[in-house]
Structure 1
């Protein structure tokens, strides 16, 4: 039986990366309410701690349909934004279903990871547990034709798909091959705003291999950086992506500049 769940009780926790500073004592997420008071003081801020015992089944949360997620030519370029690593996607990549109000275009995905000490890993947590990494696929309502300004002004203008990444000892088959290829580009984007075109054949399905995409948590939230716009339908998948411990260590040792 397909399992769908929705969050009804959560605890708010800080986000993990931002050009507005997370880890400088004089400049971190505690200052965001003054930097962007219009939204960062809101009532549906992200990320959250998912409290599994407070989640309830919701039969309206149907399965997703993923268009071109199996296409291995949809990734355009990978960029060091100075806050995270972002991969832009070609047009035509799309999601529907999942109780979304309409089709959403998949625009980009980015990663959040820690360094094992001062910087945390995943943005979201489950029952207080933080994963080493988290992948976010950012989607915007197709009717907005890529207008992200309009998307952040709409309470459901964006739909974010969140995937936890778990470090496994030894060799891991499946998704790790695609992840090894993707992270091989990091050596070429060590400085802010550096980017390279993605020339290898990698699909989103390959990166997400092993995840049961019929099981997820749902809540209405916000962007996890200022201006903290409360415009995001969040979907966090229950199953983590499993990659090798060495790959997670590679990311942890990569410094965002």
Structure 2
């Protein structure tokens, strides 16, 4: 589980940082000594969001999600700590109370150990969800230079989607298990994809991955990367509506994805523990709530 390279939210490489989730010598309790500049800072992520304490902010308007409906996904990689999907160019976000446009770079996931052991990073009112999806975006002015982005206190914008089980949910997350899906399901490849290797993904959009989420309803706070070096450079958005998937899909993440190869340990419980909100103010967009059904998928994803 130890590596000589760090993995942060935008997969920025920080040489000489050896960190992990599980071993006592390098788990998140040691990160403040591994990356001393930020990992013990005052605006660390993730946090527990208390909905009753979130301050209504009328500046938190609707997002503009550019090209989220298009062919968004470029390649998928087993990093040895998570599954990371690199996005095609031309995808961006704006609005949503952000200071300007942000280019969408990648998304990745955090999970526990099956549907019975939750593994979201953020919690809401003390509840931890089975999984969490993070879409990572960098200020457009930096043109993808994440070194510059992490030096800016609002250089990155992360969209967090909490994932929970619903029996009748569309099984769209099969796209992350079956890597070479084109027009039909192929054999599952992730167990045989060594850490660091990539596989191409096609005909899947970001919208396909977040059905039923009203993106006008969200919490907002200024926080950090959730892995070393924990740079305090992230505008966090955590959506109130959850993404709903089947129990089988959640279970597959802890049963099929390995640290290096099929003889190595499985990747489980890859989330950072909650951080004290020492100087964090949580805001909320409009509290007006209405029911949104699962949106139709634009690509036939099949069934597990």
Give me the TM-score of the superposition, normalised by structure 2: 0.74
Equivalence map 1:1-257=2 (5 Å): 20-71=19-70, 73-116=71-114, 120-169=118-167, 171-173=168-170, 176=171, 178-185=172-179, 187-188=189-190, 189-199=192-202, 201-257=203-259
Contact 1:113 1:121 in 2 (8 A): yes
Number of corresponding residues: 235
Aligned-partner Cα distance in 2 for 1:161–1:121: 17
Shift of 1:74: 2.1
Shift of 1:167: 1.1
Taking structure 1 as reference, are residues 48 and 251 closer, same or farther at Cα in structure 2, changes over 3 Å only? same
Contact 1:86 1:111 in 2 (8 A): yes
Shift of 1:227: 0.6
Aligned-partner Cα distance in 2 for 1:160–1:121: 18
**More helix per residue: 1 or 2?**
1
Contact 1:132 1:166 in 2 (8 A): yes
Aligned-partner Cα distance in 1 for 2:228–2:116: 21
Deviations 1:167-198 (A, max 9, x none): 112x323xx2x322332126245421121011
Shift of 1:206: 1.2
Deviations 1:69-126 (A, max 9, x none): 000x221100001110000011110000011011000000001111149975101111
**Structure 2, unaligned runs of 5 or more:** 1-8, 10-16, 180-187, 260-304
Aligned-partner Cα distance in 2 for 1:24–1:118: 22
Taking structure 1 as reference, are residues 80 and 22 closer, same or farther at Cα in structure 2, changes over 3 Å only? same
Deviations 1:46-88 (A, max 9, x none): 00011111112110101000000000x2211000011100000
Structure 2 residue matching 1:29: 3-state secondary structure? coil
Shift of 1:255: 3.4
Shift of 1:22: 1.6
Structure 1 residue matching 2:176: 3-state secondary structure? helix
**More strand per residue: 1 or 2?**
1
Aligned-partner Cα distance in 2 for 1:179–1:52: 28
**Structure 1, unaligned runs of 5 or more:** 1-14
Taking structure 1 as reference, are residues 118 and 212 closer, same or farther at Cα in structure 2, changes over 3 Å only? closer
Contact 1:23 1:119 in 2 (8 A): no
Give me the TM-score of the superposition, normalised by structure 1: 0.87
Contact 1:114 1:120 in 2 (8 A): yes
Structure 2 residue matching 1:37: 3-state secondary structure? coil
